[in-house]
Copies of this chain bind each other. A is one copy, B any other.
Amino acid sequence: MRNNPYYGPEGHGPYEMIGIGDLDLEEGGRIPDCQLAVATHGKLNAAKDNAILVPTWYSGTSKIMEQVYIGDGRALDPSKYFIIVVNQIGNGLSTSPHNSTGALAGPGFPKVRIGDDVRAQHQLLTETYGLDRLALVVGGSMGAQQTYEWAVRYPEFVQRAAPIAGTAKFTEHDILLLDTLAEAITSDPGFRDGSYASPADVAAGLKRHAKGWTLCGWSDAFFRAGRHRAFGFETVRDFADNFMVGYFAPMDPNALLSMSWKAQNADVSRHTGGDLAAALGRIKAKTFVMPISHDVIFPVADCAAEQALISGSSLRPLVSIDGHLGLFGADPELLAQVDANLKELMETSVD
């Protein structure tokens, strides 16, 4: 499985592979010579105070963040900021099951937590770029989980935080949801406990997983409005069987499962003995919490409950019937709202 053609610079570049040495993991074990795939945009200024960190979401890479969120005139403007997009561990570009060797290859890949990613990123930022602060951390979904972890773990480092469509502590409802999506893959006899030869061997399971994502990723209002036809598909079944199944089909099942476990176990209250209020109370960043109105995975109510625990934060719901996968950027109105909020956040002084 070292050669999965999906994961490479052709589809996801340019990015640079940067080694941070051995990474000891919170669940035990170690990733030797941990490699982070990093894409940067813009230039770090002399004061080193214009750096923005963008972590990635489940199944996503640095490429979609570049394509959808970064550009001249956008909130994430490379002419003003030094934007560092770090692919999460296990996403297929950074150190992951399919590109690991020996005992760590494939199903032997160790459990990685959000905290492991954030410590690895902290090491990257301090050692490679000499940073001691970030003007902003912004990410969606699992990127929001990493954003919260950053703001709680390194409160002095993070000046502003913008978690989009994600929570600091995964809900029980979502744990069950990811159980069912993972079991769609692992129940495929072709999965062979992770020892499949190719994602094609797990095609049926990946297809069921993709159909499940179709249901929870978008919203009923999205389908009621016929938004799937804007993607070129006459029926919801066609949209699922082609667009969504096609999206996931080439991905590595072990990578998806590694990220899924990581997402399920995201919980900043691990820093405070299970006290979520205490954990979120540590945040010093100016924080805009941005749920998406029709997100059924991270409903506004769940995000609002956490936002209420963050001093000086602001709840900024984004309105889009696209739901959670509004993150994909198909709704320009949603992107306009993201940009307006991020621009306002960046104009907020943080001394």
Binding site for B on A (CB under 8 A): 171-173, 175-177, 179-180, 183-184, 187-189, 204, 208, 211-212, 214-216, 220-221, 223-224, 235-237, 240, 296, 299, 301-302
Contact = CB atoms under 8 A, between A and B. Distances in A.
Given A172-B223, A215-B173, A220-B296, A208 B183 contact: yes
A215 B213 CA distance: 13
A276 to B, nearest CB: 14
A187 B203 CA distance: 12
Contacts of A236: 172-173, 175-176
B301 A176 contact: no
Contacts of A177: 215
16 contacts: A171-B223, A171-B224, A172-B236, A172-B237, A173-B220, A173-B236, A175-B236, A175-B237, A179-B211, A180-B211, A187-B208, A189-B189, A212-B212, A220-B296, A221-B299, A221-B301
Contact of A172 (B188, B204, B235, B302): B235
A177 B212 CA distance: 8
A181 B214 CA distance: 13
A72 to B, nearest CB: 38
A206 to B, nearest CB: 12
Contacts of A301: 220-221, 224
Chain A facing B: main interface SS: helix
A235 B264 CA distance: 14
Closest 7 CB pairs of A and B: A172-B236, A173-B223, A180-B211, A176-B236, A173-B220, A220-B299, A176-B240
A105 B175 CA distance: 39
Given A183-B208, A220-B296, 15 more contacts: A172-B223, A172-B235, A173-B215, A173-B220, A175-B236, A176-B236, A179-B237, A180-B211, A180-B215, A183-B211, A184-B184, A184-B208, A187-B208, A215-B216, A224-B302
Contacts of A183: 208, 211
Given A172-B237, A175-B236, A187-B188, A208 B220 contact: no
A237 B172 CA distance: 8
Contacts of A180: 208, 211-212, 215
A208 B215 CA distance: 16
Contact of A171 (B171, B211, B212, B220): B220
A2 to B, nearest CB: 29
A195 to B, nearest CB: 18
A212 B187 CA distance: 14
Contacts of A216: 215
A223 to B, nearest CB: 4
- Chain B CB within 10 Å, residue with most, of A171, A204, A220: A220
